Amino acid sequence: MTDLAYLPATEALRLFRSRELSPVELMAAVIERAEAVEQQVNALSERAFDEALLQAKQAERAYRDGGSPRPLEGLPVATKDEQPIAGRPATDGSLAYTGSVAEVTHPVIERVLAAGGIVHARTTTPEFCCAGFTQSKLWGITRNPWNLDYSPGGSSGGSGAALASGTAMLATGSDIGGSIRLPAANTGTVGYKPPYGRVPAMPPFNLDHYCHDGPMARTVADCALLQNVIAGPHPHDVVSLRPAVRIPDRLGDVTGLRIAYAPNLGDWEIEPEVAANTRAVAEALREAGAIVEEAGVGLRRADVFEAVFIHFGAIFGPMVTRVAAEHGDKLTPYALAFAADAERAMERSGAFLAGLELEAAIYAPIGELLDRYDALICPTTGAPGLRAGEEYVDTRLTVNGVELDHYLEYSLTPVFNIASRCPVLNVPSGRASNGMPTGVQIVGRSYDDATVFQVGAAVERVRPWAFRPEAL
C-alpha cells in the first residue's frame, strides 16, 4: 500500500468502506509524519492530535457498524488558521491579536466537520494573510517541503506545505490575490479558487468580490471531493449562491474542448523553465483530445497591479492600517508595507471608481477569449518560488533577468481575482532546476466549475505528478 500519509483521500474513503484501512491507522500515520517533519517545515499553527485520534475511533465505528458514513468521514483535514473555530485562538497570524479567541466558526469549517472531516491541525499564514509567502512574528518561517530554502507561497502556505509534507490529507485555503493558487503552484498540489459566491464566507470580507474560500488537495479528485462539501448557500452570507453546484464524479474527458493556451497574460516576466512546463501542459491536453490553440491576452502588468492595490486600498489595507495604529510595533514590516502600498494606490487614483474602471478594462479581453474557448490555461507564477525568510520590503525580486517593481508581480493570479466570477484551478505543471514545483492555472467561463476540473483531471491523467518531496 502507498505510504499512508500520502494516500489520496478518495482512495482512503474506499479503503475505509471496504475495512481494509481504519481511520485510526490513517490518523496515526499522519500524526507520525507531522512529528517527523514539522520541525523543518513548520506548517501547523495549532495541533489537536489527541482529540483527532478520539474522533478517528468514532469514525472507525461508523464504518464498522455498517451505517452511512458522511462524505469526509474519518479524513484528516487541516484548516487555514484565518478561518475561525469557536473557542479556539483567532490571531490572524499577528502578535497584535495574541490571546484572542473566536466566538464563531467559519462556514467552511462547519461543513468540513458536519461531513465527518477531522480537523487535526490548523495551518500557518502570513500576518493578516497579506503576503505571497508564509512567515510571521507569531509562528516563524514556514518552509517548502520540496526545497527548504524556499517558501511554500502564501497566504495559504501552511495548507500547501502540510499537503506536500504529508501532514494533512485535505486542506482549506482562502484567496484574495492568489492565496490558494500560489501555494498550490509552489508545493506541487491542487488548489481551487471557486467563482465568487460559490463557497460561503464571513462578513465583512464575504462582500469583497476578490475574496474566495476554497479547497486544496494533492489530486484533482480530492480537491473536487472537498469542494462539493463546502459549496452552497449559507444563511449568514448574502452573496452565497444557490443552488449548490456539484463537481461530477467522473472527470478527465476533454475530447473536443477548445482550450486557449496563453504562455503569458501580457507583459509578465516568465522564467524559461516555467514557460517550458506550461507548454508541456498544453501538449498534454492535445494528447488528451482537446483542441489547444495559442492565444494572446494582452494585459499590462502595471494596470493589473494598480487596480489590485486600489482595491486593497479601499477594503483590505484600511483594516491593516487600523490595527497598525494601535499595535504598529508588533506588526511585521511586510504588513506595514502592504498597508502603505494600498494607501498610496488609493491616493493616486482618488477613488474606488477608478479601480473598477480598470478592472472592467482588464476583464474585457478575458471575457472575449472565453467566449471563443471553453477554458484558458496560463502560468500561475513567472518564477519557481520565493526565498524563505525574505520579506521583499527592501529587496527587489528579479525574474527572467528583470527587477520587478513589487515582488507580487511575479504572480499571474490577481488577474482572476479581478475576474472573480471565473473559476480557476491550479494543477502542477512540472518541476524547476531548484527542485521547486511550478503550476498552471486552468481558467473557466464565469461559474463553469465543472470544466476546469475536467481539464485538470485530464492533465493529471496524461502528465501525472509526484506527491512526495525528496527533500524530506
pLDDT at 49 over 80: yes
Residues tagged active-site? 80, 155, 179
What are the residue boundaries of the structural domains of the chain, listed by start? 4-462
Q: Which residues contact 164 (CB under 8 A, 6 or more apart)?
A: 144, 145, 146, 152, 187, 188, 189, 218, 467, 469
The pLDDT confidence band at residue 195, using thresholds 50, 70 and 90, is very high
Residue 61 confidence (pLDDT) above 90: yes
Could you tell me the pTM of the whole model? 0.98
Element (H, E) at 420: none
Residue 210, pLDDT score: 98
pLDDT confidence tier of residue 1, bands split at 50, 70 and 90: very low
**Is 80 exceeded by the pLDDT of residue 279?**
yes
pLDDT tens digits, 233-253: 999 999 999 999 999 999 999
Q: What's the rounded Cα separation, in Å, for the pair 416 and 420?
A: 6
Instruction: Work out the pLDDT band at 144, boundaries 50, 70, 90.
Output: very high
Confidence of residue 2 (pLDDT cuts 50, 70, 90): low
User: Under 8 Å CB-to-CB from 261, ≥6 apart: which residues?
Assistant: 278, 279, 282, 285, 292, 293, 294, 295, 376, 377, 378
CATH fold of 4-462 reads Amidase signature (AS) enzymes (3.90.1300)
Q: Which residues of 253-283 are buried (b: 16+ CB within 10 A; e: fewer)?
A: ebeebebbbbbbbbebbbbebbbebbbebbe
Q: What is the mean pLDDT of the chain?
A: 97
- Residue 112's alpha-carbon distances to 5, 359, 391, 422, 443, in angstroms, are 19, 34, 33, 24, 26
Give the mean model confidence (pLDDT) for residues 400-419: 98
pLDDT in tens, 97-127: 999 999 999 999 999 999 999 999 999 999 9
Sequence-ordered list of residues with C-beta below 8 angstroms from that of 357, at least 6 positions apart, any chain = none
